[in-house]
Structure 1
Amino acid sequence: MALSRTIFIAGAGIGGLTAALALAGKGFRVVLLEKAERLEEVGAGLQLSPNASRVLVELGLKDRLRLRAVTPEAVCIMSARAGGELLRMPLGEAAAERAGAPYWVVHRADLQSALVGAVSDHPDVDLRLGATFEDVAPHARGLSIVHRSGTIRRSDLASALIGADGVWSTVRQHLFPDVQPRFSGLIAWRGTFDATQLPKEYTARRVQLWMGPNAHLVAYPIAGGRQINVVAVLPGTWNRPGWSTPGDPSEVMDAFAAPRWPPPARMMLAAVDSWRKWALFTLPEGCAWSKGPIALLGDAVHAMLPFAAQGAGMAIEDAAVLAKHLSSDAAESAAGIAAALKQYGHARQARVRRVQRTARQQGRIYHFTGPLAIARDLAIRALGPERMLARQDWIYGWRL
């Protein structure tokens, strides 16, 4: 019996949507299962460095994103201890020329909307909302995928199943039930404010990274520059799953109290009317990426701390590499599909592990206190903008 040319993807987040487009572009029929009845904004802003934007451009999303994304002029590294800017790392045209692709900051909902638009326009992608993946079993023609929509339970044939369903992945639970998310001890708080609320020096087209004692914050423009996205990261014990729990503003302001934090940082925090928080969970390094014709992608296999701004980027890269391996001539049989998925994991493991470790290390550096904070600030100033940007080349310069 001929192997099915249909691939099922569980999860229509950034990674799942990108994978659907990439696989459809290689001639597969893709069924995308999303348990939510409608796709809504979860989280506010994303940084898409050139390694990620390059993939999206190659998938034909440039025109859909060009008017929604913001190209920041610089990343400004700020120190609470020093009271202001340590270094300004040029982005904009400089980063685009260096890496061959733009550096974008974008509202997650805008990126999701662009991806959904492209998926909806593609004749070989079937996006099913309100459809929950339930089970998978071997079949003579590949896999039998069991999923539910409301009270209707059905089974479909597929050659492969991709779990792009996040850190609490149901697909991963089926494959590797012993692999469980770990709470990092950190909580991320996010909010936005209208760019007109503060003077222009606070809302310029730049990414601000404020480092301080046991906490840090990141701020950058989204929605075409009309809003500023703010993320503050603090230690804490609250560790419920979820991405959008309402938070008490006083907790944030108390953590960023004067005199440890200077007025510019506190002004941005005070401008946020409504905070949402999520506990930061990670997965242990070395999680297996596939088992037979089933594979994992994005946070489902390598959920990481956000301190390298590469969570979405790594999922987007995963999608491109996955499609490349599955499109090979060898992936025409059940054994070939399994081998291609294994090769996909091998191709991604070393890079993703390095990014995970970089994110952990940067998080520690951001939160230094006392003499370590002084040494950090001196080292950043000594490096200078060009050398600081060059340190990102291994991330930004990635190509398929």
Structure 2
Amino acid sequence: MSSLDGTHVIIAGGGIGGAASAFALARKGARVTLFERSAEFGEVGAGLQVGPHGSRILQSWGLLDEVLADGVLPRSIVFRDAITAEELTRVDLGDEYRARYGGPYFVTHRSDLHATLVAAARAAGAELYTGLTVTDVVTEADRAYVTTDDGRTHQADVALALDGIKSRLRAKIVDDQPVSSGYAAYRGTIPYADAELDEDITDVIGYIGPNCHFIQYPLRQGTMLNQVAVFRSPGYFAGVENWGGPGELDSAYEHCHQNIRRQLKHMWTDRWWPMYDREPIENWVDGRMMLLGDAAHPPLQYLASGAVMAIEDAKCIADYAAADYVPGGGNAAWPQILKNVNAERAPRCNRIVETCRFWGELWHVDGAGRIARNELFRTRDTSSYQYTDWLWSYSSDRVA
């Protein structure tokens, strides 16, 4: 595998995907410049789930132990009925699971994972700048010209757009807008002792019910509890402009078990997250610019793979580039590298986006649909991996 010494990559966006891409490319020898629009690097201090498809990559980068030091290894993923609190099924995340998938399933603060990736990118030699927004990327001949909102234009061999679900650079490829699910999410990360729980939570627990769900899991070695409340917003479907507000929160869970209702007081109500994705697209490339992360394939959160997909993107483009780049003359290889990465990643990521939509519908059914779903979950073969191998076994390994 060749080094990327001599090539220059500019990255728009410094979230988890941008930081991961900066690190993955810099460690292969590329000169990397990243522009983040925020005044400083950071992520909302809420929880994040990372499956073995992400932990294997972090392990290969030498970062997993550092991330796990601040995280939690849950015993299982547990699904419960939101109305009765009955356990419907579980996925054991123990030794057999880890052996099958080559890595653990863990949960962590988004901010902890992000900080690790930012520090690793800097240590690998990437140049990271805050307070600058990439406003345009234009390809001319064998160069990408990247304009930032300070009026400057920067040259590179290739530009990667990781500027999120509201990506302005996506408009260079497709004329579309984020698609609303009509659901709003509330988060609340609190000291574990403040939750006043009837049971000790060592799993990822998902209560699924009519038009809503509720997620719980511990963070930071069990000292904190992360909780997420997601519900169908009446305001959205009534055409309210600022839909999903705090006035809808309690009533959205009136039909649910007390395990959920008594935790709603811990949700942050000064902010909430209307849930959007985008229609899947097959092409992510415009000349020497490529969309990655949520700019290319923002999912709803039901498979807990949004951040992991961005990490997969980072590994994929770094590996493909290092396999096909020729030092001293490798700039000409970039269009084919981007094409190959697009062909590898689009089917995978678009499947996740589409499956997340279906999974969300399944979680939130009512009436006969809920009865049938619960029976399906109760009777599933918990020793079978036939429905999860496609997600957690995936690898985009590319070697010279």
TM-score (norm 1): 0.90
Deviations 1:270-322 (A, max 9, x none): 34354631111211122521122110101101111111111111111111111
Q: What displacement does 1:58 show? A: 1.2
Query: Structure 1: where are the runs of 5+ without partners?
Result: 240-244
Moved more, 326-335 or 218-227: 326-335
Alignment correspondent of 1:242: none
Give the structure 2 partner of residue 6 of structure 1.
8
Amino acid at match of 1:395: L
Q: Summarize the Cα distance change of 1:221–1:366 in structure 2 as closer, same or farther, 3 Å threshold.
A: same
- Correspondence list, 1:11-90, <5 A: 11-42=13-44, 44-90=46-92
Give the corresponding residue for 2:305: 310
Q: Is the CA contact (8 Å cut-off) linking 1:247 and 1:276 kept in structure 2?
A: no
Q: Structure 1 residues 176 and 94 mapped into 2: Cα distance closer, same or farther (>3 Å)? A: same
* Distance in 2 (alpha carbons) for counterparts of 1:320 and 1:25: 11
Deviations 1:142-192 (A, max 9, x none): 2222224xxx4322220000000101112212x225132222222122112
Match of 1:227, as an amino acid?
M
SS in 2 for 1:302: coil
3-state SS of 2:301 partner: coil
| Unaligned ranges ≥5, structure 2 | 237-241
Instruction: Give the CA deviation at 1:62.
Output: 1.8
Shift of 1:93: 3.3
Provide the C-alpha distance between the structure 1 equivalents of 2:31 and 2:350, rounded to a whole number of angstroms.
Answer: 31
The alignment of Structure 1 onto Structure 2 pairs a total of residues equal to 385
Superposition pairs of residues 283-322 of structure 1, within 5 angstroms:
283-322=278-317
Cα offset, 1:94, TM superposition = 3.6
Q: Letter of the 2:296 partner, please give it.
A: V
- Aligned equivalents of 2:145, 2:245: Cα separation in 1: 46
**Structure 2 CA distance for partners of 1:237 and 1:368, relative to 1, 3 Å:** closer
| 2:137 aligned partner | 136
Identity of aligned residues (%): 34
Q: Where do 1:253-264 residues align within 5 Å?
A: 253-257=250-254, 260-264=255-259
For residues 1-400 of structure 1, what are the structure 2 equivalents within 5 Å? 5-42=7-44, 44-123=46-125, 125-139=126-140, 142-148=143-149, 152-173=150-171, 175-199=172-196, 201-236=198-233, 249-257=246-254, 260-272=255-267, 274=269, 276-329=271-324, 332-387=329-384, 389-399=385-395, 400=397
Counterparts of 2:286 and 2:268, CA distance in 1: 46
Output the TM-score relative to the length of structure 2: 0.90
Specify the SS of the correspondent of 2:188: strand
Taking structure 1 as reference, are residues 322 and 273 closer, same or farther at Cα in structure 2, changes over 3 Å only? closer
Tell me the C-alpha RMSD between the 2 structures.
Answer: 2.3
User: Do the aligned partners of 1:72 and 1:105 also contact (CA within 8 Å) in 2?
Assistant: yes
Describe the SS at the equivalent of 1:385.
Answer: coil
